[in-house]
A and B are shown apart, each in its own frame.
Chain A
Amino acid sequence: QAKIAARPSAYSTDAKPNTFEEITTYNNFYEFGWDKSDPARHAGKLRTDPWSVEIGGLVERPGSYALEDILKNVTLEERIYRLRCVEAWAMVIPWIGFPLADLLNRAGVQPGAKYVAFETLLRPEEMPGQRGGGIDWPYVEGLRLDEAMHPLTILASGLYGEELPKQNGAPLRLVVPWKYGFKSIKSIVKITLTEAEPRTTWKSLQPREYGFYANVNPEVDHPRWSQATERRIGAGLFAKREPTLMFNGYADEVTGLYAGMDLRVKY
């Protein structure tokens, strides 16, 4: 299979990536079921072609953007990023994608916009998890505009040089490496620029446990477990837990975004 052409990036970590198998069989994608092995089992039914993203709200050029058209107008890069799940496990993943800022600039952000809201596909016929209760579908997420425009924030369309597997959020997903994994919304169909902080799925389910920011922070514990350490997936049965790094190791790049903010309150 032809590899997707992608430039290397200075933002990539030199840590060793997890295997393709690990990355594609251990997924939290509740649209396909609760178990981490469910997405790999059930995502095959998802139709990702044709695909378009509705961009609206406070933008100059709202409308439906076809996926091919989005990808034609960007330069794809390989970004090897650390991923830290809120459940205290971690991986290293070689994404292929482009800065979200490129797409937002193409749509033209209006001066009044302060936040970006994202929405996942709602298609219960193909996403068995959406036929069950527990979560108010579709999955929604959001970022502050400066977070969304940050060069580390990408939309990924590939993995390990191939098209993004469906269980990993095909055909287009967000990746925000300094935040817990649930912020990186999958299979995006809608992006809306807003003035007010948008609703996000996990925050509305459990506001005490999941905040809007969800920055990786070893000093602010989840109410039910410590975030001070993490288990590296693939490290073996008897591997030690590793200390979790502030902003998942991206502190140099992103600390400035949160100057003056109390991260214990804005978790």
Chain B
Amino acid sequence: MLVSTVNGSLRRVSPGWIYLAGLIPLAWIVWLAVSNGLGVDPVKEIEHRLGKVALWFLMGGLAITPARRFFGLNLIRYRRAIGLIAFFYLCLHLAAWVVLDMTLLWEQALRDLVKRPYLYLGLAGFVSLIPLAATSNNASVRKLGRNWRRLHWLVYPAVGFGVIHYLMQMKVVSTEGWAWAAAFTALMAVRVTARAFPTRR
């Protein structure tokens, strides 16, 4: 009942609004930065907040299929917007690392990158999302046909790398860290069970 009401009212919300709403977290971070609201270490705050926002959207994107399967909630037409917003925040997260954190010390940044698993796992996640972002338009979907689905399967390892990257940068994994890991595991598990036990239609 509720689900069909939601699905019904969503019909009037075009995906364009999602892109606009996706800018709210950025606006919030910018507002905090200019109003001195990021505390004593704004660099780390900006960097971490951007990464965390990307994680919300990545996990949100992965939740769309199970949401339809288990609750009948139809959000499929917002999935592209959610994925692209996540990619946008990852670009900003990476830029914050290079410009604000490493302060353009390229040599140290590159040395860090090749030596440290949490950094190159994060980057691997980002790099594997580049072709997905690049093919997230109708023309590519048509041109690639079945290969589009195959290519976009990359989102699973990409988000997996992202979650590991997030956990590994902590000195000790916090409760919140474990919660994100559990959420990712659950989202993957429902896909495996969906394959093993297809629902009857």
- Could you list which residues of chain A lie within 8 angstroms of chain B, going by C-beta atoms? 21-22, 25-26, 30, 34, 36-37, 87, 89, 132, 134-135, 205-206, 221, 223-226, 228-229, 231, 233-234, 237-241
Is B102's CB under 8 angstroms from A223's CB?
no
A sample of 26 cross-chain residue pairs with beta-carbon separation below 8 angstroms, ordered by A number, consists of: A25-B39, A25-B40, A26-B39, A26-B40, A34-B172, A36-B39, A134-B174, A205-B172, A206-B171, A224-B117, A224-B168, A224-B169, A225-B112, A226-B111, A229-B105, A231-B43, A233-B40, A234-B40, A237-B42, A237-B46, A237-B100, A238-B100, A238-B103, A239-B103, A241-B102, A241-B108
Q: Does B12 contact A (CB under 8 A)?
A: no
Given contacts A226-B111, A231-B43, contact A34 B174 (CB under 8 A): yes
Expressed in whole angstroms, the minimum distance between the Cβ of A43 and any Cβ of chain B is 16
Q: Is B21 an interface residue (CB 8 A)?
A: no
Q: Which residues of B contact A239 (CB under 8 A)?
A: 103
The chain B residue with its CB closest to the CB of A231 is: B43
Note all chain B residues with C-beta closer than 8 A to A224: 116-119, 168-169
Partner-A contacts on B (CB < 8 A): 33, 39-44, 46, 100-103, 105, 108, 111-112, 115-119, 168-169, 171-175
Determine how close the nearest CB of chain A comes to the CB of B163; give it in whole angstroms. Answer: 16
Contact call A36/B41, Cβ cutoff below 8 A: yes
A223 to B117, CA, bound (A): 9
CA distance A37 to B116 in the complex (A): 27
Determine how close the nearest CB of chain B comes to the CB of A150; give it in whole angstroms: 27
Interface centre among A22, A87, A134, A228 (most CB of B within 10 A): A134
Among residues of B, the one whose C-beta sits closest to the C-beta of A37 is B39
**A21 pairs with B40, CB closer than 8 A:** yes
- Tell whether A225 pairs with B116 under 8 Å between CB atoms, given A26-B40, A132-B175: yes
Please name the residue on chain A nearest to B99 by beta carbon: A238
Q: How far is the CB of A17 from chain B (nearest CB, A)?
A: 14
Q: Which residues of B contact A89 (CB under 8 A)?
A: 41, 44
Q: Known: A132-B175, A134-B173, A229-B108. Contact between A22 and B103, CB under 8 A?
A: no
Q: Tell me whether A240 and B100 are in contact in the complex, defined as CB-CB below 8 angstroms, given that A89-B41, A132-B175 are known contacts.
A: no
Query: Which of B41, B171, B172, B175 sits near A233, CB closer than 8 Å?
Result: B41
A21 cross-chain contacts in B, Cβ below 8 A:
40
On whether the beta carbons of A223 and B116 are closer than 8 Å, the reply is yes
Task: Compute how far the CA of A231 lies from the CA of B108 in the bound complex, rounded to whole angstroms.
Answer: 14
**Do B115 and A221 have beta carbons less than 8 Å apart?**
yes
Give Cα distance in the complex from A26 to B41, angstroms: 8
Q: How distant is the Cα of A223 from the Cα of B51 in the complex, in angstroms?
A: 22
Instruction: Give the interface centre of A25, A135, A225, A239 by most chain B CB atoms within 10 Å.
Output: A225
Most central of B33, B42, B43, B100 by chain A CB within 10 Å: B43
Given contacts A25-B39, A34-B174, A239-B103, 19 further A-B contacts (CB under 8 A): A26-B39, A30-B172, A89-B44, A132-B175, A134-B174, A221-B115, A223-B116, A224-B116, A225-B112, A231-B41, A231-B43, A231-B101, A233-B41, A237-B33, A237-B42, A238-B100, A241-B102, A241-B103, A241-B108
CA distance A135 to B100 in the complex (A): 31
Task: Report A135 CB to chain B, min CB distance, Å.
Answer: 7
- Does A226 lie within 8 Å of B43, measured CB to CB? no
CB distance from A35 to the nearest CB of B (A): 9
Residues of A near B102 (CB, < 8 A) are 241
Q: Given A37-B39, A233-B40, A240 and B103 touching (CB < 8 A)?
A: yes
Asked if B172 and A134 sit within 8 Å, CB to CB, the answer is: yes
Question: B residues within 8 A CB of A231?
Answer: 41, 43, 101
4 cross-chain pairs, A with B, having the tightest CB-CB distances, nearest first: A26-B40, A134-B172, A22-B40, A34-B174
A231 to B41, CA, bound (A): 9
Q: Which of B43, B108, B175 contacts A237 (CB 8 A)?
A: B43
Tell me which residues across on chain B come within 8 A of A223, comparing CB atoms.
116
Nearest CB of B to A247, in Å: 21
Q: Which residue of A lies closest to B116 (CB)?
A: A224
B45 CB to nearest A CB, Å? 10
Residues of B within 8 A of A225 (CB): 112, 116
Complex: A223 Cα to B100 Cα, angstroms: 22
Minimum CB distance partner of B42 in chain A: A237
For residue A36, which residues in chain B have a CB less than 8 angstroms away from its CB? 39-41
Q: Which residues of B contact A37 (CB under 8 A)?
A: 39
